[in-house]
Amino acid sequence: MPTATRWTGRARLVICGDTLAECDFGRFDGIRLDGAGRVWAAAWDGLHCFHPDGNLLGKLLLPTGSPA
């Protein structure tokens, strides 16, 4: 489980000094962890869901330009 996060300003999510994920649409703007350890990150096209190892599991696309 991640213990610390910081935003780099370069459209990527860094956890404990390692890049977990890169944003392919805009930039990330907020994250949450669910009970299974998945990382949910808001981006300009919707919500991106990542496995704890950083693999993109899927996206919940929202019909707006910038939901975050």
> Looking at residue 47, what is its pLDDT?
92
Closest CA to 41 of 51, 63, 16: 51
* The pLDDT value given to residue 58: 96
pLDDT of 4 over the 60 cut: no
Specify the pLDDT at position 7. 46
CA distance 11 to 22: 6
Q: In the chain, where are the structural domains located? A: 5-61
pLDDT in tens, 25-61: 888 888 888 999 898 999 888 999 999 888 999 999 9
Looking at residue 13, what is its pLDDT?
A: 67
Q: In this predicted structure, what is the pLDDT of residue 11?
A: 61
Locus of tokens 């190892």: 53
